[in-house]
Structure 1
Amino acid sequence: MEETWASGSLELLRHADSHIQLDTAFDSRIAFISVDNSVETSIRTFLSLPEKISGVKFQRKEVEEAGNSFPKMVDLLFSKARPKLAGLNDGDIEHYHRIRNQLYHNGTGLGVDRRYLDAYRQIAAVLLNNLFGVKADPKGAEATLENLILLFNEVETLVRKAFEDSGVDTGHTFKWEMAMRDGVLEIEDINQLTELRMIRNAQVHSTAENIDKKRIELGVEIAETLIKKLKG
């Protein structure tokens, strides 16, 4: 999709990056709010696009009913465009949006942990890439929460493509059994996918002091192994 549609979200993300580099408590708060604005702009823009551009049909009434409600916009996006959202979770976005609201409404006394900021920044980048095909300077595959999010997105995208290429219905109750039957995945791959998803979800929703570096390292290792196999 043309970068034009993503220009507003990109500008907000670059604004966030300029504050992230300054690395003060104030700049971290401003950066986090700007990342959240980028996420909201991406969603709002995508919902407003004609079907011939977005590839997804949204009823005008549905978009109007969502209005300016962030949770309703997220629900509508994930209900209609889930194939474009591999590796993303609506609960993650709403979780970080709630943190943004606390930062915005509760004054300057609150700080934001850098790991939360980096993770939400990566979610915003993945959203831009998935919805508009625009890459926002992804980082290397280090053992950080934001790169675990990026690698998980790549794994989910590759799995979905493998299913589609083999004619496996991703919405079917027995999709994993069908994938094994058709030789798309082995039981070990499915177990690794399950472990990766558990690690990713637990770390994204953990409190800053409970983020587990060793679990993130394991998740990155599993993701890289799966990506290598799925691409091979």
Structure 2
Amino acid sequence: MSKENLEAWQKAPVKIVSEAINHARKKSEEDNLIAFLLLDVGAEMLLKTYLGLPKKITGSTTSEDERYTIIRKGFHDVVEGVKSSRQGISLKDLARVEFFHGIRNKLYHQGNGLTVQRIHLEEYISVIKVLFKQLLKVDLDKQLSNTSLTKEQAERISQIKEEINNYLSLAKTKIKELELACELIIEEVAPNFLFPSFVKKFNSLLEQACSEEGYTYEGDIVITYKRLPYCTEKRMEIVSRFEELITPLVNKSPYFDMLYRQVEVGNKHQIDAISSQLGIKSIDVERQKVPHILSVIFNDFFDLDVFYKNIVEMVVFNDLYFISRLNYMFFECKDIYPQRHDESDLEYWESTLVLFTSQNAELDNYIARMNSWLESTTKS
């Protein structure tokens, strides 16, 4: 939706939040404070606007009388009203709005001398952008895009977009080349892993292992899916089942010791994040030890392709975060990081071009190292 096509009920909250983001771009303490206070006003107006709109526009599940009554109440009641009248709304995002509103109350009632943490301001902006999309069907990034580009800037952006499309096309070719190299390496390490009979048994075990339901959001739609259980004990049971399948097929491999080296499993980054959040220097977490080849079972997600790449990571890259790096690569335009609110259009596209340039160079490096490994292995 372009700026010219905003509906009447969308204009006021968009205007207020736009002003807040304009202040946030200046990054001074005073502007951060003004931005935060304006964001909170915009958030409340957004929620009340949603509750006040007819059901045929919002698809609300509660009656108009009930929603109009809620609008006259306090902020917490308004948030609860949105929760009960909107299916698929992110409860986490609404909880964040309440948290930031609490900060706003402290700022408002305790007077001068208080400042806003930049991280809180950034997160509040991100949350409000999501809620605008979900509740009022407004893409704030489009509303805030810089339309006052010079002719030279517009031409440069057009050129960059063309270059990015070329890089994306090239990246898709490179990833296919990389996947072929992965299979050739697996053929050297444990050829039985490529047999259709193994693939069938592996996928069958994986289907059984994904015994719990998870859900995510795609726009306004709630997507459910099967996932691995969170329980460590259940994960270890899954490890045992896969070990029974895999061990007989790899026990004569010259790489057996490397593949079956015991490693601690668990997400170190997640543990560090919890430690930081709680303000504790270190957190003692019970870590399980499993064969390295099966450590992927403790990832958030794994499949046969990840299983293969984990082996390649061990054998070729010596645990150089090969899989993690691939997971952060982009192969479709829709997956590119969104533009930051404090970033101009030209800055955004130039930084995106740098990202794709370095990504393709990284893919080239991986492919070269894998081919070098294959060449040295086949010679010996």
TM-score, with length taken from structure 2: 0.39
Report the number of matched residues. Answer: 174
Offset at residue 131 of structure 1 (A) = 1.0
Please tell me whether the aligned partners of residues 16 and 32 of structure 1 are also in contact (alpha carbons under 8 angstroms): yes
The 3 A distance-change label for structure 1 pair 129 and 187 is: same
Match of 1:62 among 66, 87, 100: 66
Q: Does 1:119 align with 2:141?
A: no
Matched, 1:77 2:118: no
**Matching residue within 24, 28, 34 for 2:28:** 24
Instruction: Return the structure number with greater helix share.
Output: 1
Shift of 1:36: 0.8
Larger radius of gyration: 2
Which consecutive segments of 4 or more residues in structure 1 shift more than 6 A? 188-191
* Residue identity in the other structure for 1:46: Y
Distance 2:46 2:115 in 1: 25
- Distance (whole Å) between structure 2 residues aligned to residue 106 and residue 34 of structure 1: 17
C-alpha RMSD of matched pairs (Å): 4.0
Contact kept? 2:93, 2:127, Cα under 8 Å:
no
> Which amino acid in 1 is paired with 2:17?
L
Task: Tell me, in whole angstroms, the C-alpha distance in 2 between the residues paired with 1:46 and 1:70.
Answer: 14
Q: 2:95 aligns with which of 87, 91, 97?
A: 91
Identical residues among aligned pairs (%) = 25
Gaps of at least 5 residues in structure 1 are: 140-154, 164-178, 181-185, 211-218
Q: Which has the higher contact order (CA 8 A, sep 6+)?
A: 1
3-state SS in 2 of match to 1:157: strand
Query: Per-residue CA shift, 1:44-63, capped at 9, x if unaligned?
Result: 00100111111114324423
CA change 1:158–1:87 in 2 (3 A) is farther
Report the CA distance between 1:87 and its aligned residue.
6.8
Q: 1:3 deviation in Å?
A: 3.0
* Equivalent residue letter for 1:3: L
Q: Which amino acid aligns with 2:32?
A: S
Normalised to the residue count of structure 1, the TM-score between the two structures is 0.62
In structure 2, the residue matched to 1:162 is 223
Question: CA offsets, 1:192-211, max 9 Å, x none?
Answer: xxx99xx6xx88xx59x89x
For 1:47 and 1:6, locate their aligned partners in 2 and report how far apart those are by CA, in whole Å.
13
CA displacement, residues 73-100 of structure 1 (integer Å, 9 cap, x when unaligned): 10010112031x2374332111110001
Residue 100 of structure 1 is aligned with which of 96, 104, 111?
104
Say whether the 8 Å CA contact 1:29–1:112 is kept in structure 2.
Answer: yes
Counterpart pick for 1:187 among 209, 212, 228: 228
Structure 1: distance between partners of 2:139 and 2:231: 28
**Offset at 1:18?**
1.7
Matching residue of 1:144: none
Inter-CA distance 64–56: structure 2 relative to 1 (3 Å threshold): closer
Could you tell me which residue of structure 1 aligns to residue 14 of structure 2? 10
2:133 is aligned with what amino acid?
N
AA paired with 1:156?
T
Contact 2:16–2:42 at 8 Å: present in 1 too?
yes
8 A contact 2:51–2:82 mirrored in 1: yes
Cα distance, 1:23 vs. partner? 1.6
Structure 2: any 5+ residue segments left out of the alignment?
A: 145-214, 233-265, 281-299, 301-323, 336-380
